[in-house]
A and B are shown apart, each in its own frame.
Chain A
Amino acid sequence: MNTFLEKEARFLDQPLGLGPRGFLLLATICLLGVYFFPLWNLTMFAPQYQEGLRMDIYSYKLEGGNKGQDIKEINVLNHYIGMKDIEVSDFTEFKWIPFVVGIIGLLFLRAAVFGKMAHLLDVLVLYVYFGLFSLWSFGFKMYSYGHNLAPTASVKIDPFMPPMFGYKKLANFEVYSYPKFGSYALAAAAVLLLLACWLGWKDWRKAGARAA
């Protein structure tokens, strides 16, 4: 047991090689994508909406297709079923996500500079937590919109869960929900972190072999 703990401590103390540090830098760059590109897209088609109604979700804003008109249209349609208007002010995420991503980026850089396995694992865990929490938060948002329907709505429908990933038929609408470039960049950052870990692990194994 002690040997394991010692081993672990040594592993965490292991300095990172150029490879993992490079990956950390690349991962930081990936994070920048969050500030420029949408994370997710919802597109809805109906017979009357052949062009589709589109909504891009950024880390800090919503953007409707057709010069913003599509979100207004979605709200007009949703008011019939008593759904709350989709409004930017309701998304606290838009305030904290860009800030948190900034901090994570700084931690990435810190790990790259301080260069210990421990730092790398820290940010990996933090990052995975952030990712899962964001996904849950997004899902919960969707759930809330679909479930908090005004009892006085002119069209009464059963509460529903909009799709988070993929396709779902909702009344006369085909709804498609897919991540966009911002999310892919975030995923790429995660992959880069894993690669960095894997390289670190390999380096350690090699060093261990040499020490033995």
Chain B
Amino acid sequence: MSQKKKSLLTWGILGAVLVAGILTGRCAPSAPKGAKKSPAGASDMAVAAQKTYVAPGDLDEYYFFASGGHSGQIYVYGVPSMRHLSTIPVYTPYPATGYGFDDESKAMLGGFTWGDVHHPSLSETNGDYDGRWLFVNDMNARIARVDLRDFKTKQILGPLPNISGNHGSAFVTPNSEYAMMASRFSIPIPKGTAAGVDKYATDYKGVVCAVKIEPKTGEMSMAWQIVTPPFNWDLGDAGKKASDGWMFWTCYNSERATGKLEVTASQKDRDYIAAVDWKAAEKAAAEGKGDMIGGVKVIDPKKVPGIIYLMPCGKSPHGVDVSPDGKYIIGSGKLQGVTTAFNFEKIQTAIKNKDFTGDEDGIPVLKYESIKDAEIPVGLGPLHTQFGPNGEAYTSLFVDSAIAKWKLGTWEVIDKIPMSYSIGHLTAAEGDTVNPDGKYLIGLNKLSHGRHLSVGPSQPESSQLVDITEEKMKLLYDAFTEPEPHYAQLIHRDKVKPIEVYPKEENKHPLAIWDVKDAGVTRKGNEVLAKVVLVRSTITPEFIEVQQGDIVKVAMTNIEQTTDELHGFGLLDYNINIVVDPGETKVVTFKADKPGVYPYYCTNFCSALHQEMQGYLIVKPKS
């Protein structure tokens, strides 16, 4: 080959590489593949619009109770419209309804001004929602009951001893025997004990706990606790039907590590799902087994065997969900690409045959291969699973930002739908009961960026409504829910029967009065009692006169029996804001320490002469 030819070839190759380089270089896309929204066909949009359109005056089909996360509240939406209907204050004062201002709700809050609500759980009868109560956890070792007769928080139990970071809650059992609690952040117990983190593996304790629910009133009380190694108990679900009587909790950090947990707690290939035989625990507690720690009965599995077992599961699992028939327990490592279906029958057999691979502080560890039925290749980052009426399972994929639909039994993955973005929990219509409805599925996404008018850096969460009536899932609607929905419940409207006013004959409040003639101010020493009537459009009495330093108790009854006729009692400069529903009596007690004249007025617009509904508190100075 001549020198000339050689150089020509070299130039030729160089030129080709350059051209190819330029071509490929300038073709780098501006967005990832599949990011381009495939333009939805006009007919698809019309169908979606029709399926979510609830005409003015029409009612939604489902109630959507979404946890409010660290807002401490429950938000109620209508489905399919996704309209926000109401906010139920639980752990945080809420001036809009006067919650946390009157004596009773203030006492219930117990000095806290926040809570962290993650997992609302509707009461059940035979594994189906019965529409009576909604139980919600708070990370501050508390649990609350909302009565669905009036959508009001009726009880907050706790902070309970020994429990720390109550995340794996409130998951009620199929006949609402118990609501559950669990420690996510192990601490030395009883609470108040100090020990260095160098003693973490031995002195810190995980605790799971059952809260008894009184069947008639729903009143909650501490039942029993089980002490465990210092794993981080994460999420739970109660067994049902085939697995009724059992409770399941996932944990991360079975390494018992401290410090930078994202590394130190990710060393082992498997963590655990605990299977707790709560009927056995109940029996043991009734037989007086267990030790008193922090004032409550705590069962130690080392001393009382046969109550708790550990099921190995993919590393750092998050959710655990029991299938409608109770036969399968679905759980997976949150960094895996598969989710595991454990077979309850096989778990029982393994327990009977002592098919153990070891133990953790006396708690037997079952053999993974003996209890699993299938590993379903759902996609990356499986977190939670909900169910449909015919064996459908829907698993949320955080990393993939999608929902996978698959089939129980055949374990085939049928469909996938992208979520915008980074889905956490998901909730299907009655999708965690023994009778899922199908129809709707809501993805509760952590990120929403770019899908709404910008509202600054504090971005809302997104909830996406998905139609699951057909083989393929279809996205119907984007809603931007109040921070921060973790888990939620979707219950058919026919199951919830709220009252619209408090019937007068049911009001047994000792300070209730029903006639303006009975309104007035009485004094006993330095205690002043004002009995107040609220009715369109007067607050009676119109003047309340006290001495500086008096303890003033204002008991107000809204004597209306008409829907929507709420009245407020805002007392300026005294930070008092009460809202009284029709037929309700509320009491507020305060010290009249500031002399002067302070207006009080109806805060909740009630009538054409609402502005005139006002009065004065006159505080005469100490002479």
Which chain A residues have a beta carbon within 8 Å of chain B's beta carbons? Answer: 69, 72-73, 76, 80, 154-155
Do the beta carbons of B608 and A76 come within 8 Å of each other? no
Chain A residues within 8 Å of B609, by CB: 80, 154
Name B608's contact: one of A72, A73, A80 (CB within 8 Å). A80
- Docked complex Cα distance between A76 and B561 (Å): 11
* Nearest-CB residue, chain B, relative to A69: B561
- Docked complex Cα distance between A80 and B613 (Å): 13
B113 within 8 Å of A (CB atoms): no
CB-CB under 8 A for A69 and B562, given A76-B535, A76-B536: yes
Chain B residues within 8 Å of A69, by CB: 561-562
* Nearest-CB residue, chain A, relative to B612: A154
- Docked complex Cα distance between A69 and B565 (Å): 13
Chain A residues within 8 Å of B537, by CB: 80
Given contacts A76-B562, A80-B608, 14 further A-B contacts (CB under 8 A): A69-B561, A69-B562, A72-B561, A72-B562, A73-B561, A73-B562, A76-B535, A76-B536, A76-B560, A80-B537, A80-B609, A154-B609, A154-B612, A155-B608
Chain B: minimal CB distance from A83 (Å): 14
The B524-573 residues at the A interface (CB cut-off 8 A) are: 535-537, 560-562
- Docked complex Cα distance between A80 and B562 (Å): 16
- Docked complex Cα distance between A80 and B607 (Å): 10
Interface class of chain A by DSSP: helix
Chain B residues within 8 Å of A155, by CB: 608
Chain A: minimal CB distance from B542 (Å): 15
- Docked complex Cα distance between A72 and B536 (Å): 12
Chain B residues within 8 Å of A80, by CB: 537, 608-609
* Nearest-CB residue, chain B, relative to A154: B609
- Docked complex Cα distance between A69 and B535 (Å): 14
Show 15 residue pairs from A and B whose CB-CB distance is below 8 angstroms, ordered by the A residue: A69-B561, A69-B562, A72-B561, A72-B562, A73-B561, A73-B562, A76-B535, A76-B536, A76-B560, A80-B537, A80-B608, A80-B609, A154-B609, A154-B612, A155-B608
- Docked complex Cα distance between A76 and B608 (Å): 12
Chain A: minimal CB distance from B565 (Å): 8
Chain B residues within 8 Å of A72, by CB: 561-562
Q: How large is the interface on B (under 10, 10 to 19, 20 to 34, 35 or more residues)?
A: under 10
- Docked complex Cα distance between A126 and B67 (Å): 72
Chain B: minimal CB distance from A195 (Å): 47
Chain A residues within 8 Å of B562, by CB: 69, 72-73, 76
- Docked complex Cα distance between A154 and B608 (Å): 10
Chain A residues within 8 Å of B608, by CB: 80, 155
Chain B: minimal CB distance from A81 (Å): 11
- Docked complex Cα distance between A21 and B449 (Å): 88
Chain A: minimal CB distance from B614 (Å): 14
* Nearest-CB residue, chain A, relative to B57: A50
- Docked complex Cα distance between A155 and B612 (Å): 13
* Nearest-CB residue, chain A, relative to B560: A76
Chain B: minimal CB distance from A68 (Å): 9
Chain A: minimal CB distance from B515 (Å): 13
Chain A: minimal CB distance from B172 (Å): 34
- Docked complex Cα distance between A154 and B536 (Å): 12
The B174-192 residues at the A interface (CB cut-off 8 A) are: none
- Docked complex Cα distance between A190 and B560 (Å): 43
Chain B residues within 8 Å of A154, by CB: 609, 612
Instruction: Enumerate the 9 nearest inter-chain pairs by beta-carbon distance, A residue then B residue, closest first.
Output: A69-B561, A73-B562, A76-B536, A154-B609, A72-B561, A69-B562, A80-B609, A80-B608, A76-B535
- Docked complex Cα distance between A76 and B537 (Å): 9
Chain A: minimal CB distance from B505 (Å): 10
* Nearest-CB residue, chain A, relative to B535: A76
Chain B: minimal CB distance from A39 (Å): 26
Chain B: minimal CB distance from A73 (Å): 5
Chain A: minimal CB distance from B592 (Å): 31
Chain A residues within 8 Å of B560, by CB: 76
- Docked complex Cα distance between A154 and B538 (Å): 12
Chain A: minimal CB distance from B517 (Å): 14
Chain B: minimal CB distance from A52 (Å): 13
Chain B: minimal CB distance from A50 (Å): 9
Chain A residues within 8 Å of B535, by CB: 76
- Docked complex Cα distance between A72 and B559 (Å): 11
- Docked complex Cα distance between A72 and B608 (Å): 18
* Nearest-CB residue, chain B, relative to A70: B562
The B157-181 residues at the A interface (CB cut-off 8 A) are: none
Chain A: minimal CB distance from B299 (Å): 51
Chain B: minimal CB distance from A156 (Å): 13
Interface centre among B536, B562, B608, B609 (most CB of A within 10 A): B562
Chain B residues within 8 Å of A76, by CB: 535-536, 560, 562
* Nearest-CB residue, chain B, relative to A155: B608
Chain B: minimal CB distance from A99 (Å): 32
* Nearest-CB residue, chain A, relative to B561: A69
Chain A: minimal CB distance from B604 (Å): 16
Chain B 69-93 per-residue mask, 1 if CB under 8 angstroms from chain A, else 0: 0000000000000000000000000
- Docked complex Cα distance between A120 and B609 (Å): 58
- Docked complex Cα distance between A155 and B608 (Å): 10
- Docked complex Cα distance between A154 and B610 (Å): 12
Chain A residues within 8 Å of B561, by CB: 69, 72-73
Chain A: minimal CB distance from B218 (Å): 26
Chain B 304-332 per-residue mask, 1 if CB under 8 angstroms from chain A, else 0: 00000000000000000000000000000
The B458-495 residues at the A interface (CB cut-off 8 A) are: none
